[in-house]
Amino acid sequence: MIQLKPSIVEFMRCDMGNGESASFWYDAWTDFGQLLTFLGAAGPRQLRIRQDARVVEASRNGDWFLPAARSDNSQLFLAALTMAPVPHESRGQDSFLWRNAAGSYLPSFSSRDTWEQIRVHSPTVPWAKVVWFKEYIPRFSLITWMSFLERLPTRDRLRGWGMNIPSSWVLCSNGDETHAHLFFECSFSLAIWEFFASKFRPSPPFGLPAASSWILQLPLRSHSTTILKLLLQSAVYHVWKERNARIFTSISSSASSLRLAIDRTMRNRLLSFPSADLRSPSLLQFYFSRFSYPV
């Protein structure tokens, strides 16, 4: 955020009123933007306006009061100033406007519009709708997103950074710890994923890209699609959590314990989404219809 501070002037504009709040040099109160940038470091000396001055200090008796231009840019500025309104109490207080996505300036700030203007735009990845959707759990989506990007600190990555640690995977001890092995080449994690996913669609694949494509083959707004997306995220999250517990606390849970934890997560989350149509089952009712308890 601190790195973006110099960019703020690009998104703000001052609507001149009495000129008592707007900074002459730092606020964008003309079409030239920040005058200190446009006129350079010599600007305050050439125009005889202090660097901390307000716009009103550049006027006298209802007119602009500035010396003759001494550079091409200052000449452009002074020429444009002849068409600009002079600060006056009758104009009210200065107000600050924010640029929206359409390029217009409005009195209200929109974090969404601003983010769309400053972020790097890239093509949407095929698995985006499996990570970000209405019913997602934020911390689960974050771990799932990092898993798809292969950015979790797995042992193969840590060893690649020069750390002297074992390479073996702690859940099954069959193979090195990689993202692919975690999700779900490992027999332990695959059994967790298959137990839940097979209740909603036969033959769930292992591997996150394959699982994502498999889920998105279903109608986007179906109960099965929503629940499978949540189940995938829950499985990824709880497998990663179990991995960390075994490494850092030496405490391990059985596959049945993880199934109970995922089931509890699902029931708690789906409970917050009642059915919009009383004639149709809610997400939770649909989920219950696929299981025999205890899981």
Q: Please, which residues bridge with residue 96 across strands?
A: 14
What does the pLDDT read at residue 292?
Answer: 77
Residue 101 has pLDDT above 90, yes or no: no
Gyration radius of the chain's alpha carbons: 30
What does the pLDDT read at residue 1?
Answer: 67
The two tokens of residue 183 are 């999700």
Beta strands in 42-133 (DSSP E): 59-60, 63-64, 95-99, 105-106
Q: Please, which residues bridge with residue 14 across strands?
A: 96
Backbone angles phi, psi at 205, to 5 degrees: -80, 160
The two tokens of residue 82 are 């002849």
Could you tell me the pLDDT band of residue 133, with boundaries at 50, 70 and 90?
Answer: very high
Compute CA distances 215 → 135, 182, 184, 204, 221, whole Å.
15, 19, 15, 9, 11
HSE value, Cβ hemisphere, 13 Å, CA-based, for 228: 27
Decide which of 174 and 24 is more confident: 24
Backbone angles phi, psi at 270, to 5 degrees: -70, -25
What does the pLDDT read at residue 46?
Answer: 93
Distance of alpha carbon 132 from alpha carbon 135, whole angstroms? 8
Decide which of 115 and 86 is more confident: 86
Distance of alpha carbon 104 from alpha carbon 111, whole angstroms? 15
Amino acid of residue 87:
P
Domain spans, the chain: 2-118, 128-288
Q: Cα dihedral sign for 65, 68, 73, 77?
A: positive
Amino acid of residue 225:
T
Name residues whose C-beta falls within 8 Å of residue 157's C-beta, 6 or more positions apart in sequence: 150
Residue 239, H or E segment: helix 223-248
Residue 2 has pLDDT above 80, yes or no: no
Classify burial at 283, counting beta carbons within 10 Å of its beta carbon; exposed 0-12, middle 13-18, buried 19 or more. buried
**What is residue 181's three-state secondary structure?**
helix
- pTM assigned to the model: 0.73
Distance of alpha carbon 18 from alpha carbon 141, whole angstroms? 49
For 163-220, how does the pLDDT look when each residue is reduced to its tens digit (9 = 90+)?
A: 998 888 888 878 889 999 999 999 999 999 999 999 999 999 989 999 999 999 998 7
Distance of alpha carbon 262 from alpha carbon 256, whole angstroms? 10
Name residues whose C-beta falls within 8 Å of residue 79's C-beta, 6 or more positions apart in sequence: none
Residue 257 has pLDDT above 90, yes or no: yes
Residue 115 has pLDDT above 90, yes or no: no
The structure tokens 């950074």 sit at 161
Q: Please, which residues bridge with residue 5 across strands?
A: none
Could you tell me the pLDDT band of residue 275, with boundaries at 50, 70 and 90?
Answer: confident
Residue 246, H or E segment: helix 223-248
